[in-house]
Structure 1
Amino acid sequence: MNSNKRDLVSDVFRNKVPERTPVGFWFHFVEGDDVFNGLDNPEVVRKNIDGHLRYYDAFKPDLVKLMSDGFFKYPDPLLSSDSSISSLERIAPLEGSHPWIQGQVRLVKELVGRFGSEIMVFYNIFSPATMLRILFGDGEKGNRRLADFILENPSAVRRALDAVGESLALLSRLVIEEGGADGVYVSVQSVQDGRIADSVYREVIAPSDKAVLAAANRAGGQNILHVCGYQGGRNNLTLFADYESAAVNWAVNVEKISLKEGKKLFGGRAVIGGFANGSDGLLYRGSEKEIRDFTRALLAESGSSGVALGADCSLPSDIDVQRLSWVRDEASLIRN
């Protein structure tokens, strides 16, 4: 296990067979409403940074996604749970000097400075639609509100998404160019409301998603597309097949689309994942033998070319990191 971890992941992203299969899992380190409060409370950002450092020291991952905990609230007073179509139409992009952007650049820069020479580091960027949905309300409420607005005035929603997307594109560029991240991890999700057809998603939402990824790609990032299955949310993965990224992560265990199948769907790009992330999943509850056996079976099915092992999404904060070590240790025994 003396392989250079940056080289391992670089090989995977280039669809080569790495010396051993890299492994990366991620966590949230801030809970409750504090995920919104980093701009006003520096202690929240400090808690996020310290959580990453503790995790890195405990597990020494092969790659890491830095969470944007503390910065979930897009800083526009026009955006809230009480937003109206008329308020959405007045949203403007942020400047690069805005504290919400600069605070995230500093977060990334500090953590990259601590371990970025050893592993590849990616920063979490929620898609514009996800940023709006979070502000509109948790879960079903946020999805319903976003769908209501799209049905009422799709042009106004697209303009709002484009404005937010311009800010997130700028943030993506700056965390790469100034923060030193190797790339961003762009989290997208279908609107979890049956009234929004795939054709509407493509017309209203997809352009702002793609603008964020395009900016990160132009900045030289090795970027990861994450199709989020949070709380069991289902996605039509074909909606995202033409999104340009170096690697893709999706909820294998929610969508029931394996790493091998997804790799084909996404045009042969590198893939990350395989394990369910919830507290009812094998990684959280299984025995050492069960986890090791699953790891071996997963790689036997997917192959090793362009594959990194991880989870559908972030893991429960109380999981024993020894369980993660079983995955990496078993994967290292498989000579690629």
Structure 2
Amino acid sequence: MDNFSSSDLKSILHSKRANMFYLEYCRVMQKDGRVLYLTEAKNENQYFNIPIANTTVLLLGNGTSITQAAMRMLAQAGVLVGFSGGGGTPLYMANDAEQPIEWFTPQSEYRPTEYLQGWMSFWFDDQKRLAAAKAFQQARLSFLQKIWAKDRELKQEGFDVKEPGLQAAFERFEERTEAATKQSDLLLTEAQLTKHLYKFAANNVQLQDFKRQHQSTDKANDFLNHGNYLAYGLAATTLWVLGIPHGFAVMHGKTRRGALVFDVADLIKDTIVLPWAFICAKENDTEQEFRQQVLQAFTDHNVLDFMFDTVKDVALMHQQPKSLDGGDQAK
């Protein structure tokens, strides 16, 4: 540990990191310069390595504890740590379980300033903030159309982006987004599209009378909740790396805690989490199987790259074109 330097752990950009971990009933600790988790087996204790240099988010579920030394190494590696209930939801910190999004973020102020400055240059202007929200919505739909058009597994499960009903819903979404004059118009349009996608997905898997409920015991709703929290972890990572505080939302309420995390997570939720929640519910998968499927989809479709690129583009959309000195290193 004498020669340990946090810079040694940051050779992998956050947008290229492959791992998110959810752990339960174990102890996370530092041992011999590595972060490990310890599980108690019947006859012996077992240690497993956590590759922190290639990890974005660590979620600690039921029955977990973590040492100060492990937290120090995770912070130096730029890993966000969150405490959650069973299966990754709801997400807690050390204070109030009623607040859904709270993270232990690595305390480094050596992060880029240009994206925060760009964000603040438009955020107090209602019309510019509305333009940023529209850019998010347009990016969200473009990503969904792109991924659903090329993902063979989704196509095999009936998620065909060319289905006439979907095409009509996408056209209405684009028209109403362009015509929106305030954020509430965008939120209504967003809700209408997501409701249509829920209905489309439920019909695809022959799930009768599906209704979206955040407090539910059916698998489709549970998987939606679970997958959404994984997306929140990636969104929180993106904003932390770019140095943009979570409170400066463009879609959700300006006074809502962590609202910008929701905005960024919404870029990918309908594209990745929604279809796989219904598919895995149809297959009667376990939470672990669903989580593995969603995390693999995140990796296959480079969702962190997409989040970083979208947030960076929106942050600088009102700036004069200029060369970004080392901007890519923010990822």
1 or 2 for the larger relative contact order (CA 8 Å, sep ≥6)? Answer: 1
Q: In which range does the TM-score fall when normalised by the shorter chain?
A: under 0.3
Bigger Rg, which one: 2
TM-score scaled by length of structure 2: 0.23
TM-score scaled by length of structure 1: 0.22
